[in-house]
């Protein structure tokens, strides 16, 4: 146990316990700060604030390490499957063969959507962004699955978790089908989780659909790489929404809304759009100069990370996967060459070196997803599909935590002090 932290606030000396986790930085437990001193801490963006205890995911941003329940992301991405990682995140240990089989079967039994939900899609414009549809439809699940919204019942929580993980591919694939005017495809439970998603997305009733095993593996790996990332913005949103006792479907809809932003899940869409706009390696210096220019709001999308101040370990796997997919599909898209060259030039530039800006997971994921055939607007929907596992696991962890409280940050008020109302005619 580390020594207590000592602080002097408004002439008062106070001490706070310092807690140590298994690995990673200690935390100063300042829960009694306000009661003892009348002062709050101030930390916009939570750059120095731990909001909870969690045994799910560990990141060492300086070393470029990401562990799920202790297992390095590289090993999981290379050797396991998304279903295995989902089981691991939800249950704490890797499954035995039998446990994995049972879990996969359970998930596959929940892949269909209530038939009436299809009518929801028809209320959207055809050009609706898939994330707009995902927010709406996932939130609407609470109106269809009442029997799994009692968060005080652990069995209902488990069923809701399974439903969310199982139905997300169906919901995302239907959002895509709606945008291209093709009929919705029902799930095929003889396929893997990822193979089924590919079929629901790209299959049509007019002809048989063959799942390409290289594409299936690559997409499964992308799902693994996006499954969880500790207390990121969307996960914190899910936890905050859940802390009020909201049902899990509503909480996931909140997470999806947060993920949509270009600084978070929307970055893969933005990164590919940027690479296409750059077009050829010759134009890269122009964009690097823009990214460095303080007067230009432009940023290199897919670069930099709040936590990683080293190479994002997920980007390493992603870069390798691009090659495999391109070779298997015979794709010859100059966007990959542009991405590689941009990475090379940025990593040798003092601005990026000094600020420790490295490619993140989104730098290459868009390149792969585009080669597979997904339009850019679907990228964030795929991220949401995969991150649902993390959101659900973190939400469950929070609900089971006896110390859980409603999330309620404080503020530094900078508005007017109290003043008297003046009737409109006298203003």
User: Which residue ranges make up the site for ligand CMC (CB under 6 A)?
Assistant: 229, 232, 263-265, 267, 291, 299-306, 355, 357, 360-362
Q: Which is nearer to ligand CMC, 172 or 272 (CB)?
A: 272
Q: Give me 306's structure tokens.
A: 């709040």
Q: Which is nearer to ligand CMC, 109 or 355 (CB)?
A: 355
Q: Cβ 229 to ligand CMC, closest distance in Å?
A: 5
3-state secondary structure string across 75-131? HHHHHCCHHHHHHHHHHCCCCCHHHHHHHHHHHHCCCCCCCCHHHHHHCCCCCCCHH
In residues, how long is the chain? 427
Contact 196, 280 (CB under 8 A): no
Note if 43 is an active site residue.
Answer: no
Q: 């704490």: which residue's tokens?
A: 92
Q: Cβ 167 to ligand CMC, closest distance in Å?
A: 23
Q: How far is CA 411 from CA 37, 44, 286, in A?
A: 16, 9, 41
Q: Which is nearer to ligand CMC, 148 or 360 (CB)?
A: 360
Note if 68 is an active site residue.
Answer: no
Q: Cβ 47 to ligand CMC, closest distance in Å?
A: 8
Q: How far is CA 417 from CA 28, 41, 96, 425, in A?
A: 32, 21, 62, 23
Q: Cβ 371 to ligand CMC, closest distance in Å?
A: 20
CA neighbor of 398 nearest in space, from 248, 229, 257: 248
Q: 């409603």: which residue's tokens?
A: 406
Q: Cβ 154 to ligand CMC, closest distance in Å?
A: 30
Neighbours of 29 (CB within 10 A): 14
Given 68, 110, 129, 305, the catalytic residue = 305
CA neighbor of 42 nearest in space, from 415, 417, 414, 416: 414
Sheet strands side by side (includes 71-72): 57-60, 65-68, 71-72
Q: Cβ 233 to ligand CMC, closest distance in Å?
A: 7
Backbone angles phi, psi at 418, to 5 degrees: -55, 140
Contact 13, 6 (CB under 8 A): yes
Q: Which is nearer to ligand CMC, 169 or 302 (CB)?
A: 302
Residue 39 burial by CB count (10 A; 0-12/13-18/19+): exposed, middle or buried? middle
CA neighbor of 307 nearest in space, from 60, 74, 69, 72: 60
Q: How far is CA 419 from CA 202, 346, 422, 425, in A?
A: 62, 53, 9, 17
How many DSSP H helices and E strands does the chain contain?
A: 18, 7
Given 114, 362, 401, 420, the catalytic residue = 362
| Catalytic residue set | 305, 362
């Amino acid at each position: 146990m580390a020594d207590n932290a000592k602080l002097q606030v408004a002439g008062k000396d106070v001490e706070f316990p310092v807690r140590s986790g298994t690995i990673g930085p200690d935390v100063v437990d300042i829960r009694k700060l306000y009661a003892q001193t009348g002062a709050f801490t101030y930390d916009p963006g939570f750059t120095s604030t731990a909001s909870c205890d969690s045994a799910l995911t560990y990141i060492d941003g300086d070393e470029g390490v990401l562990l799920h329940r202790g297992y390095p992301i590289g090993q999981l991405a290379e050797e396991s499957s998304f279903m295995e990682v989902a089981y691991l995140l939800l249950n704490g240990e890797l499954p035995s063969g039998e446990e994995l089989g049972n879990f996969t079967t359970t998930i596959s039994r929940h892949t269909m959507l209530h038939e009436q939900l299809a009518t929801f899609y028809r209320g959207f414009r055809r050009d609706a962004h898939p994330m707009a549809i995902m927010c709406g439809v996932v939130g609407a699940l609470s109106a269809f699955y009442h029997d799994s919204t009692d968060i005080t019942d652990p069995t209902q929580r488990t069923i809701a978790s399974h439903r969310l993980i199982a139905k997300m591919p169906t919901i995302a694939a239907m959002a895509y089908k709606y945008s291209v005017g093709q009929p919705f495809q029902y799930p095929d439970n003889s396929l893997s989780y990822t193979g089924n998603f590919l079929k629901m997305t790209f299959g049509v009733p007019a002809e048989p659909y063959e799942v390409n095993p290289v594409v299936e593996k690559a997409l499964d790996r992308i799902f693994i790489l996006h499954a969880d990332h500790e207390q990121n913005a969307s996960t914190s949103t899910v936890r905050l929404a859940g802390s009020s006792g909201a049902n899990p479907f509503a909480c996931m809809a909140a997470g999806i809304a947060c993920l949509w932003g270009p600084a978070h899940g929307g970055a893969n869409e933005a990164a590919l759009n940027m690479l296409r706009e750059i077009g050829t390696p010759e134009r890269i210096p122009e964009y690097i100069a823009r990214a460095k220019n303080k007067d230009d709001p432009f940023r290199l999308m897919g670069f930099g990370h709040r936590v990683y101040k080293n190479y994002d370990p997920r980007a390493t796997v992603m870069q390798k996967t691009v090659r495999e997919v391109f070779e298997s599909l015979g794709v010859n898209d100059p966007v990959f060459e542009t991405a590689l060259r941009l990475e090379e030039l940025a990593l040798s530039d003092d601005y990026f070196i000094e600020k420790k800006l490295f490619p993140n997971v989104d730098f290459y994921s868009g390149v792969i997803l585009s080669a597979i055939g997904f339009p850019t607007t679907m990228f964030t929907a795929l991220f949401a599909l995969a991150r649902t596992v993390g959101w659900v696991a973190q939400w469950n962890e929070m609900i089971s935590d006896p110390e859980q409280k409603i999330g309620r940050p404080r503020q530094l008020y900078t508005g007017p002090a109290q003043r008297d109302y003046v009737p409109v005619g006298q203003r």
